[in-house]
């Protein structure tokens, strides 16, 4: 059989299966996302930015389904398990800090993320896909 053709009878072929059930797994899913990116070296602001990014489908779905405050609380809880303290900046005019829908506030988030990223010269370090790269200085 040619390499590019799919064979439904091949037991070694990778198959994805969607399962539909009534149990809500958003809590566990959110915790897993936070833990994974925390272990990769992202800080709490970078992880929150990933939840806001619509290109990260699972993370963004959890944000839309449960809200930003739930995501922030989960991030703080997961970081606390590892002994890391999370403090969210308080913006006097808007308690939610910033949202994806307002461009001026989105640029505030970008500047916060850029300040927390490692940089080479004056440009933040990114991976080949354009995502922020964590500082892995050993």
| Res 68: pLDDT | 94
What is the domain range of residue 59? 26-115
Q: pLDDT tens for the chain, 138 residues: list them.
A: 556 777 778 888 777 777 787 888 889 999 999 999 999 999 999 999 999 999 998 899 999 999 999 999 999 999 999 999 898 887 643 444 444 444 445 555 556 555 555 544 555 666 666 677 766 666
Q: In the structure encoding, which two tokens stand for residue 68, read together?
A: 């930003």
- Is 55 inside a domain boundary? yes
Calpha distance 71→24 (Å, rounded)? 15
Q: In the structure encoding, which two tokens stand for residue 44, read together?
A: 């709490």
- Is 95 inside a domain boundary? yes
Residue 79 has, within 13 A of its CA and on its CB side, a CA count of 21
- Our count of domains for the chain comes to 1
Q: In the structure encoding, which two tokens stand for residue 36, read together?
A: 């994974």
- Is 13 inside a domain boundary? no
- Is 10 inside a domain boundary? no
| Res 95: pLDDT | 43
| Res 73: pLDDT | 95
Q: In the structure encoding, which two tokens stand for residue 113, read together?
A: 């993320």
- Is 130 inside a domain boundary? no
- Is 129 inside a domain boundary? no
- Is 134 inside a domain boundary? no
């Amino acid at each position: 059989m040619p390499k590019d053709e799919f064979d439904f009878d091949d037991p070694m072929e990778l198959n994805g299966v969607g399962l539909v059930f009534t149990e809500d797994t958003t809590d566990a899913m959110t915790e897993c996302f936070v833990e994974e990116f925390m272990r990769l070296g992202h800080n709490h602001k970078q992880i929150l930015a990933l939840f806001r990014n619509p290109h990260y489908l699972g993370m963004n779905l959890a944000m839309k389904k449960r809200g930003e405050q739930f995501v922030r609380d989960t991030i703080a809880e997961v970081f606390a398990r590892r002994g890391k303290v999370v403090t969210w900046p308080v913006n006097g005019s808007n308690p939610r800090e910033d949202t994806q829908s307002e461009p001026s506030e989105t640029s505030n988030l970008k500047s916060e993320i850029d300040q927390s990223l490692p940089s080479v010269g004056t440009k933040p370090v990114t991976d080949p896909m354009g995502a922020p790269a964590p500082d892995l200085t050993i």
